[in-house]
Amino acid sequence: MFAVSMFAGATAKKSKDKNKYGVYMAGVSASFTDSLIYFTDIQYLDSAIVDGKGFLVGRSQYSMQLKDFLETKEGGKNRTCFMFFNVKKNKLQKELLKLKEKYNKGNNMVLKNVNPEFKFEKAELY
């Protein structure tokens, strides 16, 4: 999960400011035990921060929010959740489209949208 989160974070554009507030994000959840892949809607979170190195601050907390939701509301067990984000919505849309096309190749995976009631909440920074 960490490696995938790191990869997704590397695509965010660096800001001239030390921190950039406001990020478009989407979560993706997969499991090694089934062929179901969950995708959240793209959400804008004005409290999300991209640090000076282009990483989403609190990305593991956002991943856990999705994991907890899928376990309690969808009965999903052993899911690995990871985040994709960008400060530009259209760039994030293109990245997710490529990922969906990759998963659809071969028709072995079932893509499912996460219930729209799921919303990312501000990560608690320590």
Diameter of the chain measured on Cα atoms: 43
CA distances from 112 to 29, 40, 50, 96 (A): 10, 9, 28, 13
Rounded to whole angstroms, how far apart are CA atoms 126 and 116?
A: 29
Q: Round to whole Å and give the CA distance between 125 and 73.
A: 26
Sign of CA dihedral 8, 14, 19, 25: negative
pLDDT digits (tens, 9 = 90+) for 25-57: 999 999 888 889 999 999 999 999 898 898 999
Per-residue pLDDT tens digits for 94-120: 999 999 999 888 778 899 999 999 999
